[in-house]
């Protein structure tokens, strides 16, 4: 049974309204889930390990005697790595090496150690960059347990110089994913606990006798995890709350339509809410991609998910030209943007907002998801307008450095005092004046 | 009537518990305020300008005929600047120039335009840095209307290359603060609307016919504004929700105690919840600072606020030595850290967590608050463990760039396919394989 994607044309009078309708997505804010997460957090804060153990045994059908018993030791992680079939182990290692190399470059290019400069009167100003002490990485259990996510979350922290990386991953019914454990071993994770849900977020945010409190929690999770992360924000840092994954393909009509169809599938197979959109100036080409979709879909093991995703949230947009396609891309600010075109640079220079740009027909998003090197944790739901891929910079912070010379204390102190009096803050003014009067 | 600050000694058996008690601060989460903010946001989202106008006229005792009538034109901003007495205008200009110079340096040192590199097989990887299109700056009205905050919030955005900077500032009873308007003129603010509260946050987040939707909202506000910002996070970016301001003074006992006393006052005068802490290895010196406080306090116009703040939240901590002082500073991760000591660098090198470091006895915090150059919007309540001063980087975001060569599509594609099959994502694998099979 084929799937018909919604077709839009930028020449339609109500195109903008149609486009907004296609993009419209409201993350379901479930009060019951939020209250449940809040209650679990409060309990973990109050009772620590005892609460963590109870919730874990209950929700993950375990029978652990203590939280200590929920820790996976390094030797087990490395055994999991050694136990992988060679081809898969090799692929995981290549991916980790490339992700590390890219993030090392990111650290080197920016945020290695800030700057410092001295003014004529001897006043020194600067910015010191330091890593976070300890971070927590949440890795979902069950079907969404992705080793690539372990690499993408842990390696930037490791490159940033974070001393302790604590990973939590629920293991319902005690089932452990060897690829996830192997990825932890490769990525430089310090400790792993098989806990999940809001109780894991609480343990990482507040700390328990066994589980150390972290400074920031990153990584995707279910609705309870997301609600818990929102609530502990401020006590610890958190990454963005991720929405459904999206791909926007800008194509000039020169790429094999089967390739584009499969790229749309690769996003749609994630889940029913994922969004795949093709933008193209060539109506015939759009039709050919539709035919490829119809021909290729039934062979896909995850065809049902793909079909629902494409039918409910997918779209094919006919535009006047590639310039207009770029403008639409800037409006959508997609998580993944493929510019599948001849000489893609002429178009990518016009893109202001995108999580990751895949340039040229050989740049499939899937290569970026696993092993190109850049991070696959990207801003979703138009947040690329104001946020960035997960990176080394998310595991560093800056401190301003101000060393005022005796001469500077006079010249700057007079300015500060003048403005402080203007704001009615006399102690501010006096504390500056004391230095030169 | 003198004020007695709490005295702690790191030799006390329960010192850590005492210190935690001193630092303990729970931002009051008022459900009524949160619900009220949510209702206003929903109304502004639904009715736009009509709702903004109603709430503004009601809460700010205005009688505006339209939201357009609430806009302050550029000529009025520049008239306010021209109308300042020369000394104050000059001080404001010097402060703005220095803040701009520091943030230009920040942009130049990091995040000017990312990086790009080519691998042996022709695959290109990189990171593109772009400014946000449009940002909103919230400036509180009434007593907390600080022109320095306008400079500190708007200038980094302007330096980052943000094209449109929309400032909102409530004017209860129509009272405008000329210094705030003048600061907006100097800082490069594009448009100013005299609106505030949750309705202003909603207008900026969702946009109305008159007020354009922004990509990020920064700036301090009251509890309604904070609640509204939390709720629109995701639709737009927001800065940290600021807690009470804090200063931690590490002193080796070589600074005039009056200077240190006044530095503690300068924090305490902000509000009753502000926190001023002195850490020193010299018990006699701590006593001398206490005497300076007793002698100087009654002369301060804001003595009542200072007294309450110091009595309720202030502290003086006797430590074994400056090394221990640095360790305590790292635990507290203060918003403002003064290292008032001989050769302060020997100690600042040990500091991992602080919003801003003021080195040497001539570096009063107040100079940093107004005109040293670094930003005065800093992480509070121990969040310097994982967050940074407001900076140019808050108004930029990054996009990953991936251009895979035909050769890379084979080598990388094989790795991606292997891992994709391992994760059960066959469409990911096929989309990589299509490029080389």
pLDDT band at A124 (very low <50, low <70, confident <90, very high): very high
pLDDT at B101: 97
Residue B192 · residue B167 · CB < 8 Å:
yes
- In the residue annotation, B336 being an active-site residue is answered as yes
Q: What is the mean pLDDT of residues A119-143?
A: 94
Chain B contact set for A377 (CB, 8 A): none
Q: Which of A246, A336, A376, A433 is catalytic?
A: A336
Phi first, then psi, for residue B16 (nearest 5°) are -60, -40
Residue with tokens 């603060």: B177
Q: How many CA atoms lie within 13 A of A186 on its CB side?
A: 30
Q: Do A234 and B381 touch (CB under 8 A)?
A: yes
Which of A225, A190, A249 is closest to A41 using CA atoms? A225
Please tell me which of the candidates A128, A133, A240 has its beta carbon nearest to residue B385. Answer: A133
Residue with tokens 């996003």: A267
B136 and chain A: CB distance < 8 Å anywhere? Answer: no
Tokens of A312: 């409910």
Chain A contact set for B132 (CB, 8 A): 385-386
**Cα(B425)–Cα(A358) distance, integer angstroms:** 19
Q: What number of other Cβ atoms are within 10 A of residue B327's Cβ?
A: 15
B259 and chain A: CB distance < 8 Å anywhere? Answer: yes
Continuous H helices in B270-404: 283-296, 303-313, 322-332, 345-348, 365-370
Residues near A433 by beta carbon (within 8 Å), at least 6 away in sequence: A413, A417
**Cα(B257)–Cα(A398) distance, integer angstroms:** 30
Q: What is the pLDDT of residues A241-271, one digit of tens each?
A: 788 899 999 999 999 999 999 999 999 999 9
pLDDT at A28: 63
**Cα(A141)–Cα(A169) distance, integer angstroms:** 6
To the question of whether residue A245 is assigned a binding role by annotation, the answer is yes
Angle between helices A86-109 and A74-83 (to 10 degrees): 120
Alpha-carbon gap: A183 to the closest alpha carbon of chain B (Å): 11
Residue A348 · residue A359 · CB < 8 Å:
yes
Mutate to test the interface with B, among A399, A417, A432 (most CBs of B within 10 A): A399
Q: Do B92 and A419 touch (CB under 8 A)?
A: yes
Per-residue pLDDT of chain B (437 residues; tens, 9 = 90+): 778 899 999 999 999 999 999 998 876 667 899 899 999 999 999 999 999 999 999 999 999 999 999 999 999 999 999 999 999 999 999 999 999 999 999 998 766 678 999 999 999 999 999 999 999 999 998 766 789 999 999 999 999 999 999 999 999 999 999 999 999 999 999 999 999 999 999 999 999 999 999 999 999 988 899 999 989 998 999 998 788 899 999 999 999 999 999 999 999 999 999 999 999 999 999 999 999 999 999 999 999 999 999 999 999 999 999 999 999 999 999 999 999 999 999 999 999 999 999 999 999 999 999 999 999 999 999 999 999 999 999 999 999 999 999 999 999 999 999 999 999 999 999 999 999 98
pLDDT at B351: 97
pLDDT at B112: 65
Which of B108, B423, B316, B325 is closest to A366 using CA atoms? B423
pLDDT at A298: 96
Cα separations in angstroms, A59 against A56, A147, A181: 5, 23, 21
Chain A contact set for B363 (CB, 8 A): 402-404, 409
Q: What number of other Cβ atoms are within 10 A of residue A25's Cβ?
A: 15
Q: Which of B335, B338, B365, B376 is catalytic?
A: B335
**Cα(A198)–Cα(A33) distance, integer angstroms:** 10
**Cα(B338)–Cα(B359) distance, integer angstroms:** 6
> Given a cut of 80, is residue A57 above it in pLDDT?
yes
pLDDT band at A112 (very low <50, low <70, confident <90, very high): low
Task: Note which residues in 347-376 of chain B have CB less than 8 A from chain A.
Answer: 348, 351-375
B399 and chain A: CB distance < 8 Å anywhere? Answer: yes
Q: Do A368 and B434 touch (CB under 8 A)?
A: no
B31 and chain A: CB distance < 8 Å anywhere? Answer: no
Please tell me which of the candidates B92, B371, B374 has its beta carbon nearest to residue A412. Answer: B371
| C-alpha triplet B121, B122, B125: angle, nearest 5° | 115
pLDDT at B257: 98
Alpha-carbon gap: B410 to the closest alpha carbon of chain A (Å): 9
Q: What number of other Cβ atoms are within 10 A of residue A6's Cβ?
A: 16
pLDDT at B144: 64
What's the ipTM? 0.95
Q: What is the pLDDT of residues A179-194, one digit of tens each?
A: 999 999 999 999 999 9
- In the residue annotation, A353 being an active-site residue is answered as no
Q: Do B426 and A351 touch (CB under 8 A)?
A: no
Q: What is the pLDDT of residues A272-308, one digit of tens each?
A: 999 999 999 999 999 999 999 999 999 999 999 999 9
Q: What is the mean pLDDT of residues A144-172?
A: 95
Number of helical (H) and strand (E) elements in chain B, helices listed first: 17, 15
Tokens of B264: 């503690």
Give the least confident one: A95-99, A141-145, B212-216.
Answer: A141-145
Alpha-carbon gap: B132 to the closest alpha carbon of chain A (Å): 6
Q: Do A416 and B348 touch (CB under 8 A)?
A: no
B319 and chain A: CB distance < 8 Å anywhere? Answer: no
Chain B contact set for A391 (CB, 8 A): 127, 398
Q: What is the pLDDT of residues A1-20, one digit of tens each?
A: 778 899 999 999 999 999 99
pLDDT band at A44 (very low <50, low <70, confident <90, very high): very high
Q: Which domains does chain B possess? A: 6-25+243-372 (3.40.50.1980), 31-115+129-238 (3.40.50.1980), 404-433 (no CATH)
Q: What is the pLDDT of residues A346-362, one digit of tens each?
A: 999 999 999 999 999 99
Chain A contact set for B427 (CB, 8 A): 262, 265-266, 268-269, 300, 302, 306
Mutate to test the interface with A, among B397, B405, B414, B417 (most CBs of A within 10 A): B397
pLDDT at A243: 84
pLDDT at A27: 66
B177 and chain A: CB distance < 8 Å anywhere? Answer: no
**Cα(A367)–Cα(A362) distance, integer angstroms:** 9
Q: Do A109 and B125 touch (CB under 8 A)?
A: no
Residue B95 · residue B376 · CB < 8 Å:
no
**Cα(A66)–Cα(B50) distance, integer angstroms:** 58
Specify the 3-state DSSP secondary structure of A77.
Answer: helix
């Amino acid at each position: 049974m084929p799937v018909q994607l919604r077709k839009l044309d930028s020449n339609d009078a109500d195109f903008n309204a149609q486009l907004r309708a296609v993009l419209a997505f409201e993350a379901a804010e479930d009060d019951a889930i939020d209250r449940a997460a809040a209650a679990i957090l409060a309990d973990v804060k109050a009772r620590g390990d005892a609460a963590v153990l109870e919730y874990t045994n209950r929700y993950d059908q375990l029978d652990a005697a203590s939280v200590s018993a929920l820790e996976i030791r390094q030797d087990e992680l490395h055994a999991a790595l050694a136990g992988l079939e060679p081809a898969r182990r090799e692929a995981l290692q290549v991916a980790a090496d490339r992700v590390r190399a890219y993030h090392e470059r990111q650290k080197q290019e920016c945020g290695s150690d800030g700057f410092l400069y001295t003014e004529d009167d001897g006043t020194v100003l600067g910015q010191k960059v330091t890593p976070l002490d300890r971070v927590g990485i949440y890795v979902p259990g069950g079907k969404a347990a992705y080793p690539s996510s372990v690499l993408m979350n842990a390696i930037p922290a490791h490159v940033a110089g974070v001393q302790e990386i604590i990973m939590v991953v629920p293991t319902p019914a005690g089932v452990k994913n060897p690829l996830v454990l192997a990825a932890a071993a490769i990525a430089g994770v310090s400790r792993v606990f098989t806990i999940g849900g809001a109780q894991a977020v609480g343990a990482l945010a507040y700390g328990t006798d066994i589980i150390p409190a972290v400074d920031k929690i990153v990584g995707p999770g279910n609705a309870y995890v997301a609600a818990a992360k929102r609530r502990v924000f401020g006590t610890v840092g958190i990454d963005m709350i991720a929405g459904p994954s999206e791909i926007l393909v800008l194509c000039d009509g020169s790429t094999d339509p089967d390739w584009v169809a499969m790229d749309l599938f690769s996003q749609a197979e994630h889940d029913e809410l994922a969004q795949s959109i093709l933008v193209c100036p060539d109506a015939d080409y759009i039709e050919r991609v539709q035919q490829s979709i119809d021909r290729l879909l039934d062979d896909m093991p995850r065809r049902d998910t793909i079909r629902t995703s494409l039918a409910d949230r997918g779209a094919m947009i006919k535009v006047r030209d590639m310039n207009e396609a770029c403008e639409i891309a800037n409006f959508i600010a997609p998580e993944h943007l493929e510019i599948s075109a001849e000489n893609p640079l002429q178009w990518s220079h016009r893109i202001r907002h995108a999580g990751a740009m895949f340039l040229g027909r050989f740049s499939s998003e899937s290569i970026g998801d696993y092993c190109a090197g850049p991070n696959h944790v990207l801003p979703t739901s138009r947040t690329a307008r104001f946020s960035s891929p997960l990176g080394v910079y998310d595991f560093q912070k800056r401190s301003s450095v101000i060393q005022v010379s005796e001469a500077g204390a006079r010249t700057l102190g007079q300015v500060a005092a003048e403005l402080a009096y203007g704001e009615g803050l006399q102690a501010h003014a006096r504390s500056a004046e004391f230095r030169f009067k």
